[in-house]
Amino acid sequence: MSTSVSPLAPKSYPEMPALRGVRMATAAAGIKYKNRTDVLLMVFDQPAAVAGVFTRSKCPSAPVDFCRGNLPRGEARAVVVNSGNANAFTGAKGRAATQLTAQSAAAAVGCSEDQVYLASTGVIGEPLDATKFAGVLGDMHVQAQPGFWQEAAKAIMTTDTYPKVATRSTEIGGVPVTINGIAKGAGMIAPDMATMLSFVVTDADIDAAVLQALLSAGVEPTFNSMTVDSDTSTSDTLMLFATGATAADGQDRVTTADDPRLAGFRAALNDLLKDLALQVVRDGEGARKMVEITVTGAETDQAAKRIALSIANSPLVKTAVAGEDANWGRIVMAVGKAGEMADRDRLAIWFGDVRVAVDGERDPHYSEAAATAVMQQEDIPVRVDLGLGDGSATVWTCDLTKEYVAINGDYRS
């Protein structure tokens, strides 16, 4: 397991501004290991509007089921996130554990269970002893403080090599609004799988239904456009909370998704989601390079995305990137296998600004040296134009290295 920070980690971390309406605390509850911080509690003293997007896995974890059950109410007073145990594939015991965790949180915070949200990451298939939460949540509720963003991001790390935070400032109707977010993912606990968790909070006053529309649209070109190894976890969770504190500053509540006042907020939210999503990709196991794949000229945006993901998930493309090999032949292969309409004789491919293929064959001015120079960068842009239509999409991934194999295969459960 890698213990050094990813070479692709951000060079500096932002100062996280205060955000009214939320308090946080962390604790060591001994979920899996003693003396390891493994629980995060977020408290909204006034109910926050809430939206969520979860894994599409047909085998979702018990916490994912639990959150989906509460989302129709659209109100959050507490979020409990634990590492050490994903409470996934745990059957009836897993459901009981979520119920008990919610009861403990509701009792500690003074709310109802349908105002509680849960997320878990860690071991699969081991029952989660939810009685451990009861021992810490009461104190955590008392001690929870505003700020604490870096600590919260650290608390939810598993084998992430760095905590992931992001912040954006924007406005609604001229009233300043803040959005803060934390994420974890692409790190792995042996023998489990990458789980992507992200929690974003804003002080804006926005209805839950509007939040959901913003989040569902915002997740597509961000978290849903990145892949480390194509292995979608049972537990992926992205949640957005609005505390409404800016109502006190004169921000009138936003109640419809097409409110023109949302333009700045929407852009800032999407930019923050992209920031966090790229931080997750950059922490991919064994990653030393990040690849941005843009497909243009497809029949539809959806086709462009499928082709982009076919390239991003190709082991042969990813190992070539690891080897700094400007191997456009494998890009051709990945376009061809995607199953979407593609005219081989119209394909054009660029690494960075270096066009390596055009009209279905190698570029007549192809320069191996120029293409290789691009491959030696840490951030590698790849573009494919299909020449068929207007569909386009951008996805991000990382290279496939021996360290990925070592992290995921070199030890026993």
Q: Which residues on neighbouring strands pair with residue 117, listed in sequence order?
A: 79
Q: Is the dihedral of CA 216, 267, 169, 250 positive or negative?
A: negative
Does 336 engage in binding with a copy of itself (CB under 8 A)? yes
Q: Where are the alpha helices (DSSP H) in 19-130?
A: 62-70, 91-109
Q: Closest Cα to residue 277, out of 227, 332, 223, 343?
A: 223
| Minimum distance from residue 338 beta carbon to a copy of itself (Å) | 7
Does 338 engage in binding with a copy of itself (CB under 8 A)? yes
Residues from 54 through 83 that contact a copy of itself (CB under 8 A): 55-60
- Among the listed residues 121, 195, 246, 394, the single catalytic one is 195
| Minimum distance from residue 87 beta carbon to a copy of itself (Å) | 11
Site string for a copy of itself, 362-401 (x = CB under 8 A): x-----x---x--------------------------xxx
The overall longest dimension of the chain from CA atoms, in Å, is: 71
Residues from 297 through 316 that contact a copy of itself (CB under 8 A): 313-316
Does 232 engage in binding with a copy of itself (CB under 8 A)? yes
Q: Helix, strand or coil for residue 166?
A: strand
Q: Say if residue 29 is exposed, middle or buried (CB neighbours under 10 Å; 0-12, 13-18, 19+).
A: buried
Buried b (16+ CB within 10 A) or exposed e, 207-236: bbebbbbbbbebbebbbbbbbbbeeebbbb
Binding range to a copy of itself, per CB under 8 A, among 13-21, 43-51, 131-139, 187-195: 187-195
Does 126 engage in binding with a copy of itself (CB under 8 A)? yes
How many of the chain's residues bind a copy of itself (CB under 8 A)?
77
Binding range to a copy of itself, per CB under 8 A, among 14-22, 104-112, 136-144, 344-352: 344-352
Is 170 part of the annotated catalytic residue set? no
Does 321 engage in binding with a copy of itself (CB under 8 A)? yes
Q: Closest Cα to residue 197, out of 101, 87, 116, 280?
A: 280
| Minimum distance from residue 341 beta carbon to a copy of itself (Å) | 7
158 annotated to bind ligand:
yes
Does 334 engage in binding with a copy of itself (CB under 8 A)? yes
> What is the distance between the alpha carbons of residues 182 and 198, in angstroms, rounded to a whole number?
6
Residues taking part in catalysis: 195
